[in-house]
Every structure is written in structure tokens, then in C-alpha cells.
Amino acid sequence: MLLKGQNRPAQLSESKTMKTIVTFGAGMLLSALLTGCVVSSVYPFCAAKDEVFDPALVGTWSEHNATEATNSFWHFAPLNEQAYWLTNVENDKTNCYETHRFRFKQNLFLDLCPTNRPEDHLPLHYLVKIVTARSKLQFEALNFEWLAQLLEKNPQALRHILVPTEPGQTNHQQLVLTADTAELQTFIGQYLNDTNAFGEATELTRWKD
């Protein structure tokens, strides 16, 4: 495990060696996020004061035609007055997340924390930028490749660690952010206008029951 600022092994000269697979998303979103990997964080990306609950998000969303049956979808249900319970079904896989919608510098985001994880695993957080409408939901995930390259050049830009995906390996590592929420938001705020900071948008359509 490497702490921020330590020298990286030579194998990390290419960002692809820092990738790991995380089950996250549905259909096109799954492909967009998983093949490019997902940025994970020990701390949440949102503070309680930033949370904004919107009932319009509740329901089922799919990348497929909303008039056709599908076994790949996202379903949002109220968890409490501030959070959602997100169930993601992708063919034969089901993943659940405690989800918080929040506003930061006039932009809307989702902070997702998986709940179906082994008891000894950390509750890592994922960040997704969203644009919502009555019948459309657009996602832009924090760009793993962009962030990996940025931290490769400037390890001090944001606190993080590199965790081997398998014991003893140094050429395949997962990048995990260890900066606290305030630091994360300061960093994100610096790059909100950077077109490379977030990945390509994926659009989901509200399912018509």
C-alpha cells in the first residue's frame, strides 16, 4: 500500500495498471464506468448541508426503450427524508446503494455507497454528476483515467492510497481517495469546468409502469 507522496513502482507509468473492476451501473452506464473503472473514496463526497432530496428521482430508470421489458435498470426508493435506496439490476446481478443527492456549486451529484458488501469491507463512496428531467436522467461519472493520470503527475493534489487488487501485486492496483469531504469538494470545485474531469454522459429513461 502506498501513501500519498510515496514513489510509485515503474509498472504504474500507465494508468491502465491502476484499474480494478467494480460492479456499478446498468447497461451503457455499466460499460462506461466499469471498462474505465470507478473512482472510490473512503469519505463521502457530500456534506449533510448540501443534500437535496427530490421526489422526482424516485422510480425506475433504464437505458432501454421505456416501453420494452428489460432486466437492466436502476430503481430509486426513499430511504429517509434525505437519502434514497438504489437497487441496480443488471441481468443476473443485483447491487444496492445508499444514495445521497446533493448540490455543489450549482451542480447536482449523487454520492453512492454500496450496501451489499462483505462485513469487513470499507463503505466506499462513488461520485456521479447528474442532470435530471421529468423523463430523462443523465449521468457523468468522475473520470478515472483523468484522475489517475493527474495524481500520477502530482501525488500531492489529493490524498489517496494505492491498494493491490491481489496480495503481493504491484502492477494492478486500485486508487482509493482518502481525502475528507471538505478536501474532496475543494478538489472537485477546481475542476468542474474541466471537460476531462467527468466522463461521457449516459442517459437513462424513466420506466413506464
* Model confidence pLDDT, tens digit, residues 52-73: 999 999 999 987 665 555 678 8
pLDDT in the model for residue 186: 97
User: Which is nearest to 22 in space by CA: 122, 139, 146?
Assistant: 122
pLDDT in the model for residue 64: 62
Q: Which helix (H) or strand (E) holds 30?
A: helix 27-34
Taking only the tens of pLDDT, the chain with its 209 residues reads 434 433 333 333 333 333 333 333 334 444 333 333 678 999 999 999 999 999 999 999 987 665 555 678 889 999 998 999 999 888 888 889 999 999 999 999 999 999 988 887 889 999 999 977 667 888 888 988 899 999 999 999 999 998 887 777 777 778 899 999 999 999 999 999 999 999 888 888 888 65
pLDDT in the model for residue 35: 37
Domain that holds residue 135: 2-206
pLDDT in the model for residue 126: 93
Identify whether the C-beta of residue 155 lies closer than 8 Å to the C-beta of residue 163. Answer: no
pLDDT in the model for residue 136: 86
pLDDT in the model for residue 17: 34
Q: 3-class SS at 131?
A: strand
Instruction: Give how many domains the chain has, as a whole number.
Output: 1
pLDDT in the model for residue 18: 35
pLDDT in the model for residue 153: 95
Task: Report the percentage of the chain scoring pLDDT > 90.
Answer: 45
Instruction: Look up cell 439490476; give the residue.
Output: 89
Pairing of strands 40-41, 173-177: parallel
Cell of 101: 443527492
Instruction: Look up cell 491481489; give the residue.
Output: 166
Task: Give the helix ranges, DSSP H, for 59-180.
Answer: 144-153
